[in-house]
Structure 1
């Protein structure tokens, strides 16, 4: 059931893996390159099924991410906190075992402990960063967080800020009322 198709000028590949349809852009306008990409993906899938391709754990991915990437110190601090939060749920899993279901179980467990939706969204954002990095490294085919619907997690309300008296006076000096 593997095949190629075009969307506009770009070729896409499609195949089934473990009963699910996989559709990915080959990111090329040439059919031969798309065919080679499809064959490589199918070979990787067959290797994983046989156990030839090494599988990586979430814990390994987090360690490599912190070693190889450079982010701002405040972001790094936030990411380290997120990694400690995600560790009990995901460290024992291989990257290909992280699915929408495991993410949903994580979200449900966090909600039961009374954590706000905004905090859960931040945890999922870090998980998505890790999965995207794994995709660049060739450790993961697709980012499972993008397939997870975050509609049930409300974003925080925007903050309402009021001007101080000094700011108000400065504003009136610049734009006097007529």
Structure 2
């Protein structure tokens, strides 16, 4: 078989009309073999042309190449999400030839997914992934000449998240949580850590003397050293007294090992249910962190830095006010009105006195 490896890519080599042809395929040998056999069949049938050798590439082949060569470069969780999104896309487009996919087909897919009760954000993520794969197929693989996804509008998504934990709900949640979960809940409420960041936190990144901690691998691709408040320090001091001898994780399970995200979610949902709190996710602890800061007058830029969001606009998704937090704003009008009335009364009184002393 005319396949050979160059770097991470399997190349195919064959003769066509007396000319030696070399073409890159993919990084996975079995898929490269399928592509090679397909080309050999088309040559035998007289249906292969050098200029249009990719005209019969299917959507599924494009997504296989994407998952093999590009998606693994992403974070592990993002890679797993990509595989899930591709499964939905392949179910509809898998058999389509790339050059036969039109904007109307993508629009029809979007409508079908909405009928299946897929969330608008999920549908958009699928289209974004599909569009990215098409861009690679155009610019780097030279499989197609056009990206039909770019001509289809995305679904409108409401980023407004109205859920945060009240202090009364916090009290109930802590009462229904085991002690190990209480520490995690309080630590997240006081640091704004994401679930993965909380699970991955190790003592090497904590400086109790300086009252700081460092986040290395995170969503915004940055390294940040952040301050800890007294409540967070109190929790860390207690955890420091019972550090695991098996590993360096700050928070760990009963066996002294790293906490599994599914186990943490399961325990958290059970505590939320027992507390009678509706529609509250673990990530909403981070939401509560940002909301409480802004409701108490912390500068939005400071909240952005503390929560490590990429932009101010992202912070504003989490910056919701309730009526009492806005009261001081409207009370300014009372103050302005009272000052005006007082000044007017004083001016009027002076005017009357002046008239009274005129001879």
Settle same-fold status: TM greater than 0.5: yes
What is the alpha-carbon distance in structure 2 between the residues aligned to residue 159 and residue 83 of structure 1? Answer: 27
Of 126, 131, 135, which residue of structure 1 is paired with 2:129? 126
Q: Per-residue displacement from partner, 1:41-98 (whole Å, max 9, x unpaired)?
A: xxxxxxxxx8631321111111111221221212111111100111111100011111
Residue 155 of structure 1 corresponds to which residue in structure 2? Answer: 157
Q: Secondary structure at the match of 1:139?
A: coil
What is the alpha-carbon distance in structure 1 between the residues aligned to residue 115 and residue 161 of structure 2? Answer: 26
What is the alpha-carbon distance in structure 1 between the residues aligned to residue 80 and residue 103 of structure 2? Answer: 27
Residue 112 of structure 1 corresponds to which residue in structure 2? Answer: 115
Q: Higher RCO, 1 or 2 (CA under 8 Å, sep at least 6)?
A: 1
What is the alpha-carbon distance in structure 2 between the residues aligned to residue 51 and residue 105 of structure 1? Answer: 32
What is the alpha-carbon distance in structure 1 between the residues aligned to residue 144 and residue 58 of structure 2? Answer: 11
Q: Structure 1 residue 139 and structure 2 residue 143: aligned?
A: yes
Q: Structure 1 residue 103 and structure 2 residue 109: aligned?
A: no
What is the alpha-carbon distance in structure 2 between the residues aligned to residue 143 and residue 127 of structure 1? Answer: 9
Q: How much does 1:157 deviate?
A: 2.2
Aligned residue pairs, count = 120
- Gap regions ≥5 residues in structure 2: 1-46, 163-286, 299-359
Of 82, 95, 99, which residue of structure 1 is paired with 2:85? 82
Map of 1:36-75 to 2, 5 A cutoff?
52=49, 53-54=52-53, 55-69=56-70, 70-75=73-78
Q: Secondary structure at the match of 1:149?
A: coil
Residue 41 of structure 1 corresponds to which residue in structure 2? Answer: none
Looking at CA atoms only, which structure, 1 or 2, has the larger radius of gyration? 2
| TM-score (ref. length: structure 2) | 0.31
Q: How much does 1:99 deviate?
A: 1.0
